[in-house]
Amino acid sequence: MADGAAKLKPESKSKKDIKNLVETIIHIIFLVLGLVAVGCVLVITIYLVISGIPAIREIGIIDFLFGTEWASTAADPKFGILPFILTSIYGTAGAIIIGVPIGFFAAVYLAKMAPPKVKSVINSAVGLLAGIPSVVYGLVGMLVLVPTIMKVFNVPDGSSLLAAIIVLAVMILPSVIKVSVTALESVPKEYEDASLALGATKTETYFRVSVPAAKSGIAAAVVLGVGRAIGEAMAVMMVAGNVANMPSLFESVRFLTTAVASEMSYSSGLQRQALFSIALVLFLFIMLINVLLNMLLKRQKEN
Amino acid sequence: MKKVLVCLFAAFMAFALAGCGNGGETSSTGSGSTALSGSISTDGSTSMESVIGALGEAFTQENPDVRFTYNPTGSGSGITAVTEGRCDIGLSSRALTDEEKQTLTETTLALDGIAIIVNNSNTVADLTVEQIAQIYTGAITNWSQVGGQDGEIVLIGREAGSGTRDGFESITGTEDECLYRQELTSTGDVITTVSQNPNAIGYASLAAVDDDVKTLTVGGVAPSEETVKDGSYVVQRPFVLATRTGEDLSPAAQAFFDYITSSDAASIISQQGAVPVN
């Protein structure tokens, strides 16, 4: 018996060792997989900085960021990206001004008022809207929206900042609605019950109690919409006209994203380097928005 | 019932497999007779897509073991790619510059007319090269100034670096002076946009133009194979094959090069709307 017990012990020890080894290996595999994402971000950041800096140095940061003229292939090339920066800011702001109120009220309705059947229909429609590829938005914009703008506003050509704003406003709707609905639904029911018990109407309760309680979540939804709008290229390229003008509602304009996308395939030399610099500027914008988003989400969690 | 279905399915699969086997055999004997294999890579002008695509298809049909690739990046990128040895043949829709000719050899494959297109509802039928230049530089801004109906002219063009834009601007002498309303990134986009806007004017490769838009005559000459070849239609440019000087092509690429510059390929080139020179 004792002999048997002595035999068993070392066996169970080696089994434990193997188990530990497997655990460690699995741990390492998951660590590596996790690091892939971090590695990608690092590689992209380093690559963008390395390839974006030379052109900025050559052109001069003031001339590059605040130059109002872009003529990359002219005999006397000019690389001022202020029109692109302003267009991206105006375009995104416009999309937010149109898209956020629609998205916000839709979210309040969906989260608080809608009967379950209507809610499920609208929810699946919003899901579909999120799934439509951006090139389809662009195509519909190009064939329907652009001629409509031309007729309604009696302008020679409908490809304009306005067309881009409308397309972007529709494109940000799904993210604004979904994140706002989640925020509104996570408001504790006791808050609303207390408000109702004090004699407030349902509508008063939703707008005076639920919405303020969910405000950081709704702000996160808006910032997410900003991120989506500022990074969109394909749909915008098809409706905005892509001429490097200073932004104006009915003028053909070029965004930061489309400035990179439209010239990249044929570019060479300093022009190509300058396109990387534009990408770097765009990247910084997105980083800023992400930091803001993370701050808002953190605050929501703390609440 | 289920058993019968399974039997039928199995029989079908067996036939299908037998079919595969047969197909494989015939293709291997086919390649055995020509004995040509390897890959041919081409890179460059997007305007040459239809021409080089049709030629590549015809060539690989005769030589099934050859792998043909075409990378539509644009004339500038194609020339860079062939200079750096990233492809066998660079495709350029403009003549090579003297600097480029130091390392590359230029062979003209075909000529391409650049069609000046307007909306189908436009009443203007003819413009001179001077008028086109004035329209694109903003000296003429209304269709009524060139004999059409009242309407502000909407200038549609291509993005900086495009071979078609470069060709158009150099022929009309409007480099860096065009006041585009829209700069689009493909020939198809230009045609779609012009077909949507009654006051638009645009330019596109003659090979790509269809009935959706109206093609203008320039100085009274309509763009066609004859008028491009004899030079009477002036808005035209060459389709150029660029190869590295003093370096032999691979056997497959050489065979392809010989084939597309031979008179056998001429009918394929003209079917695609370009004008063969050989």
- Per the structure block, which two tokens stand in for B226? 């004859």
Q: What is the pLDDT of residue B10?
A: 54
| Residue A66 domain-assigned (yes or no) | no
Whether residue A116 is found in the same domain as residue A199: yes
Which tokens sit at B244? Answer: 């590295």
Nearest beta carbon to residue B160 from set A73, A147, A252 = A73
Q: Are residues A261 and A163 in the same domain?
A: yes
Query: Does A242 contact B192 at a Cβ distance shorter than 8 Å?
Result: no
Whether A74 is covered by a domain: the verdict is no
Mean pLDDT of A97-103: 95
pLDDT of res. B155: 94
Residues 233-272 of B with CB under 8 A from A: none
Which stretch, A64-78, A156-170, B46-60, has highest mean pLDDT?
A156-170
Q: Closest to B182 (Cβ–Cβ): which among A75, A252, A268? A: A252
Q: Is the pLDDT reported for residue A301 higher than 80?
A: no
B38 touches chain A (CB under 8 A): no
Cβ–Cβ of A242/B184 closer than 8 Å? yes
Q: What is the mean pLDDT of each run of 10 residues along chain B (278 residues)?
A: 52 47 38 67 84 92 90 83 92 87 92 91 92 93 91 90 80 87 88 91 86 92 87 89 91 92 89 82
A165 & A47 share domain: no
Whether residue A109 is found in the same domain as residue A43: no
Mean pLDDT, chain A, rounded, equals: 89
State whether A142 and B185 contact (CB < 8 Å). no
Residue A12 is part of which domain span? 2-59
pLDDT confidence tier of residue A271, bands split at 50, 70 and 90: confident
Contact (CB<8Å) B193/A242:
no
Find where tokens 């030399």 sit: A269
- Residue A144 inside a domain? The answer is yes
DSSP chain A: -HHHHHHHHHHHHHHHHHHHHHHHHHHHHHHHHHHHHHHHHHHHHHHHHHHHHHHHHHH-HHHHHH---EETTSSS-EE--HHHHHHHHHHHHHHHHHHHHHHHHHHHIIIII--HHHHHHHHHHHHHHHHS-HHHHHHHIIIIIHHHHHHHTT-S---SHHHHHHHHHHHHHHHHHHHHHHHHHTS-HHHHHHHHHTT--HHHHIIIIIHHHTHHHHHHHHHHHHHHHHH--HHHHHHSB---PPP-TTS-B--HHHHHHHHHTT--HHHHHHHHHHHHHHHHHHHHHHHHHHHHHHHHHH-
Nearest to B182 among A74, A242, A265 (CB): A242
User: Are B83 and B246 a contacting pair, CB within 8 Å?
Assistant: no
Q: Does the beta carbon of B152 lie under 8 angstroms from any beta carbon of chain A? A: yes
Closest partner residue to A243 among B182, B185, B192, by Cβ?
B182
A105/A197 same-domain check? yes
Q: What is the ipTM of this complex?
A: 0.73
How many Å is the Cα radius of gyration of chain B?
23
Considering only CB atoms, which residues of chain A are within 8 Å of chain B? 71-75, 142-143, 146-147, 150, 156-159, 237-238, 241-243, 252, 254, 261-263, 265-268, 271
Give the gap in angstroms from C-alpha A261 to the nearest C-alpha of chain B.
Answer: 9
On the question of pLDDT at A2 being above 80, the answer is no
CATH number of the domain where residue A109 is located: 1.10.3720.10
Q: What pLDDT is stored for residue B241 in this prediction?
A: 94
Cβ-Cβ contacts under 8 Å, B180 against chain A: 243, 252
- Confirm if A196 and A202 have CB atoms less than 8 A apart: yes
A74 interaction partners in chain B (CB closer than 8 Å): 175-176
CATH topology of domain B40-111+238-276: D-Maltodextrin-Binding Protein; domain 2 (3.40.190)
Whether A75 is covered by a domain: the verdict is no
Its CATH class, for the domain covering B113-236, is alpha beta
Q: Is residue A70 part of a domain?
A: no
Instruction: Pick the residue from chain B with its C-alpha nearest to A157.
Output: B154
| Number of domain units in chain A | 2
A271 contacts B182? CB cut-off 8 A: no
Among A44, A59, A74, where does a domain finish? A59
Statement: residue A139 has pLDDT above 60: yes
A71: chain B residues, CB-CB within 8 Å: 160, 176
pLDDT tens sequence across A188-235: 999 999 999 999 999 999 999 999 999 888 999 999 999 999 999 999
| A262 chain-B contacts, CB cut-off 8 A | 159, 183, 185
> Which chain B residues touch A254 with a CB distance below 8 Å?
183
CATH 3.40.190.10, chain B: domain bounds: 40-111+238-276, 113-236
CA distance B157 to chain A (A): 10
- Measure B163 CA to nearest chain A CA, in Å: 9
Taking the Cβ of residue B188 and every Cβ of chain A, the question of whether any pair is shorter than 8 Å is answered with no
Residue of A nearest to B198 (CA): A156
Q: Is 0.90 surpassed by the pTM of this model?
A: no
**Is A233 a member of any domain?**
yes
Cβ distance B31 to B64 under 8 Å? yes
- Tell me how far apart the alpha carbons of residues A89 and A87 are, in angstroms, rounded to a whole number: 5
Residue of B235, B75, B67 lying closest to A265 (CA atoms)? B75
Q: Which residues contact A109 (CB under 8 A, 6 or more apart)?
A: none
Domain identity same for A107 and A28: no
